[in-house]
A and B are shown apart, each in its own frame.
Chain A
Amino acid sequence: MQSLSNRSKVVSDKPMTFMEKLYLPAILGGMWITFTHLFRKHNTLKYPEQTKAFAPVYRGMHVLKRDEQGRENCTACGLCAVACPAEAITMVANEREQGEEHLYREEKYAEIYEINMLRCIFCGLCEEACPKEAIFLTDRLVPTEYERADFIYGKDKLVESMDYRIDITDRQSTGKRTEK
């Protein structure tokens, strides 16, 4: 069969010659290889000082977006919870009262929205399923905790604050289903 990569070597088990049996040339050759590595560039990234840029499609901690006026996008339709293969998302819906228009964009909103980060597999299906562009996975990492309960993220951790908005413009699903 023809080799496609031209990198395969034909292996034979013919008896070793005297020079091969000595092993010393092979050992010295190996030591030369390691020696050349002394002068190579280090691959180390000094982590806390230097960080590596995330790929634009990286799927990290979720964010519940607000729109430009600071209203929550989520309407508690539950599609994300249905789409979630790990069943990590639960929510309780509520009706928007008079005078809450500056808080919630739609007439129905999620009173409780919880993601269990221990269950979540960060597949991004919730983001795909969301018709309101409310939930996105970001390039932030889920920090470690000591208690299991601390991994159940409520709205306090998920909804972005207006002072510190999370940039999701690089996400692939951004702007796909914008209602005009």
Chain B
Amino acid sequence: MLEKLILVGIIFTISLVIAMYATYFERKVAAWFQDRIGPDRAGPFGLLQPLADGVKMFLKEDFIPRNSDKWLFIMGPGIAMFTSLMTSTIIPWGPDIVTASGNIVLQVADFDIGILFILGVVSVGVYGIMIGGWASNNKFSLFGAIRASSQMISYELAMGISVITIVMMTGSLSLRDITEAQHGMNWNIFYQPLAFVIFFVCSLAELNRAPFDLAECESELIGGYHTEYGSMKLGFFLFAEYVGMFISSAVISILFFGGYNFPGMDSVEGNTLAVLGVVALFVKIFFFIFVIMWIRWTLPRFRFDQLMHLGWKRLIPLALINLLVTGLVIAFTSGWFN
């Protein structure tokens, strides 16, 4: 019990620290892509920039618009933050750590429903944006909220269907089982490249990241759902996005890139394996965080009808075909047609 509590504490801290430095990294990456240097004033290489930003956020005036729904206005960022942090509970962070008094499992809870839990929590995550946007009593916020919700509902479907192919191949919903099935270099990406593309596009849309950031969309909606927010409430919204980015990178790494598996893992044992496994997972996570940022600073934003078109008319049929083909292949290989 105690070790679980410690693990929860560590994961919580790591998520927050990574989200914090993701904001710094985002600015750095943007700068590099644009032939600039980026923040370099606060501390060595600007490493204290996130702290400076945090202090700035806290010191800003905490403003609540007069005609807003006060409780819902406060609840919005809270829900966004809560749901994005909640997903980390079921992610298997690494192989077991061997101690004298038994193995420590680097996973808070190994639910039987694993991946469904993530989809469920993600689908609830939209409430933060919706409630926040509506409670602001501002038409731009409302537009942002409505866009976010319809976008999330649309892309959840294709996301779910593309995940089902992985579940079919593994025969389990548990993320640990899915990871174990990709031992060594036997990663799902080599079997399900299409599912990966669909899942990746959908997770960008679920995260409200460019090129699908229509919910905030500075050029049209000022700030979208967080137009009326300031101070740490805005900070929570922005932070939730970065935590979500970290978690979804972790989920992508686990579903398609073998999680904590790495080539040549059979030659090491015990705690070395555990440490290397955790490192392998985090390398993959950082890579995907970088890719998500890379996409943001490369691609222009979609138009809303294009977004809906892509979601409903392209990704869902593709995901269904992929599902069908996967099912047929599994049926063939397991000898149903003999």
Are A43 and B35 also in contact (CB < 8 A) when A27-B299, A30-B299 are?
yes
Once the chains bind, are B37 and A34 in contact (CB under 8 Å)?
Answer: no
A18 within 8 Å of B by Cβ? no
Once the chains bind, are B298 and A34 in contact (CB under 8 Å)?
Answer: yes
**A-facing residues in B288-316 (Cβ within 8 Å):** 294-295, 297-299
Q: Which residues of B contact A180 (CB under 8 A)?
A: none
Once the chains bind, are A44 and B298 in contact (CB under 8 Å)?
Answer: no
Once the chains bind, are A37 and B35 in contact (CB under 8 Å)?
Answer: yes
B295: nearest residue on chain A (CB-CB)?
Answer: A31
B40: nearest residue on chain A (CB-CB)?
Answer: A46
Which of A24, A34, A40 is B294 in contact with, Cβ under 8 Å?
Answer: A34
Question: What is the 8 Å Cβ interface bit string for chain A, positions 14-55, against chain B (1 contact, 0 not)?
Answer: 000000000010010011011101101111101000000000
Which of B33, B37, B197, B295 is A37 in contact with, Cβ under 8 Å?
Answer: B33
B34 within 8 Å of A by Cβ? yes
CA distance A40 to B35 in the complex (A): 6
CA distance A34 to B37 in the complex (A): 15
B66 within 8 Å of A by Cβ? no
What's the minimum C-beta distance from A24 to chain B, rounded to whole angstroms?
8
CA distance A24 to B299 in the complex (A): 12
Once the chains bind, are B298 and A31 in contact (CB under 8 Å)?
Answer: yes
Interface range on chain B (Cβ under 8 Å from partner): 10 to 19
Q: Which residues of A contact B35 (CB under 8 A)?
A: 37, 40-43
B32 within 8 Å of A by Cβ? yes
B60 within 8 Å of A by Cβ? no
What's the minimum C-beta distance from B304 to chain A, rounded to whole angstroms?
17
Once the chains bind, are A42 and B33 in contact (CB under 8 Å)?
Answer: no
Are A44 and B33 also in contact (CB < 8 A) when A34-B294, A35-B294 are?
no
A38: nearest residue on chain B (CB-CB)?
Answer: B32
What's the minimum C-beta distance from A169 to chain B, rounded to whole angstroms?
36
Which of B33, B37, B295, B299 is A38 in contact with, Cβ under 8 Å?
Answer: B33
What's the minimum C-beta distance from A26 to chain B, rounded to whole angstroms?
10
Question: What is the 8 Å Cβ interface bit string for chain B, positions 28-55, against chain A (1 contact, 0 not)?
Answer: 0001111111001000000000000000
CA distance A33 to B297 in the complex (A): 11
What's the minimum C-beta distance from B31 to chain A, rounded to whole angstroms?
8
Q: Which residues of A contact B295 (CB under 8 A)?
A: 31
Once the chains bind, are A34 and B36 in contact (CB under 8 Å)?
Answer: no
What's the minimum C-beta distance from A32 to chain B, rounded to whole angstroms?
9
Q: Which residues of A contact B36 (CB under 8 A)?
A: 42-44
CA distance A31 to B294 in the complex (A): 7
What's the minimum C-beta distance from A90 to chain B, rounded to whole angstroms?
42
Q: Which residues of A contact B294 (CB under 8 A)?
A: 31, 34-35
CA distance A38 to B29 in the complex (A): 8
If A27-B299, A34-B33, A34-B297 are given as contacts, then 13 extra A-B residue pairs at C-beta distance below 8 Å, sorted by A number, are: A27-B298, A30-B299, A31-B295, A34-B294, A37-B32, A37-B35, A38-B32, A38-B33, A42-B37, A43-B35, A43-B36, A44-B36, A46-B40
Q: Can you show 17 pairs from A to B with CB atoms below 8 A apart?
A: A27-B298, A27-B299, A30-B298, A30-B299, A31-B295, A33-B298, A34-B33, A34-B297, A34-B298, A37-B32, A37-B33, A37-B34, A38-B33, A41-B35, A44-B37, A46-B37, A46-B40
- Chain B residues proximal to chain A, CB less than 8 Å: 31-37, 40, 197, 294-295, 297-299
The 5 closest A-B pairs by CB, nearest first: A44-B37, A34-B298, A34-B33, A43-B35, A31-B298
